[in-house]
Amino acid sequence: MSAPRATVATAEDWPEVTALRHRVFVAEQGVPAELEHDDADTTAVHAVGRDEAGRVVATGRLLLDAAGPGRAVIGRMAADAAVRGRGHGAAVLAALHRAAAEHGQVEVELHAQATARGFYERAGYRTVGAEYLEVGIAHVTMRRRLDAERAGQV
């Protein structure tokens, strides 16, 4: 089995992306359905990771310049429970980092669920500020520079 890879999503991927996000955020984590989808989805860069059968099993989105000039925001990171810990989320995150660098972003920011802090730290993120609640779930703001991606090393 090869290492998981992720790509920028296309319009054809959208039904699988929304279904996965609904399963993870609404059904599993109890986020209100009306808060899971927003207008930013239409302008965001989305990435998807697929399993061996070609099904979308991980996703995330990138909002360009959303935290100021040159600073993108990554969000809606979700992985199907059956594939967590197998590299699909890391592959999506790397695809979003590459996309951010390709669009001239120098830094990315995200609101990580506190339980996922270690995942993001392993990807080079650092915590900025104190823990807070977002949709009833403990989160921390984290940031990472995109130096390696901008140099084409990743």
**pLDDT band at 147; cut points 50, 70, 90:** confident
Residue 148 has pLDDT above 70, yes or no: no
Our measurement of the distance from residue 51's CA atom to the centroid of its chain's CA atoms, rounded to an integer in Å, reads 17
Residue 139 has pLDDT above 90, yes or no: yes
List pLDDT tens digits, range 78-122: 999 999 999 999 999 999 999 999 999 999 999 999 999 999 999
This model's pTM is above 0.75: yes
Q: Residue 146 in contact with residue 109, Cβ under 8 Å?
A: no
| All structural domains of the chain with their residue ranges | 6-150
Strand pairing of 132-134 and 126-127? unpaired
Residue 152: the pLDDT is 59
The Cα–Cα gap between 13 and 48 comes to 8
Q: Among 106, 101, 96, which residue's Cα sits nearest to residue 59?
A: 96
| Class at the top of the CATH hierarchy for domain 6-150 | alpha beta
Q: Residue 17 in contact with residue 46, Cβ under 8 Å?
A: yes
Pick from 2-6, 11-15, 117-121, 129-133: least confident: 2-6
Residue 151 has pLDDT above 70, yes or no: no
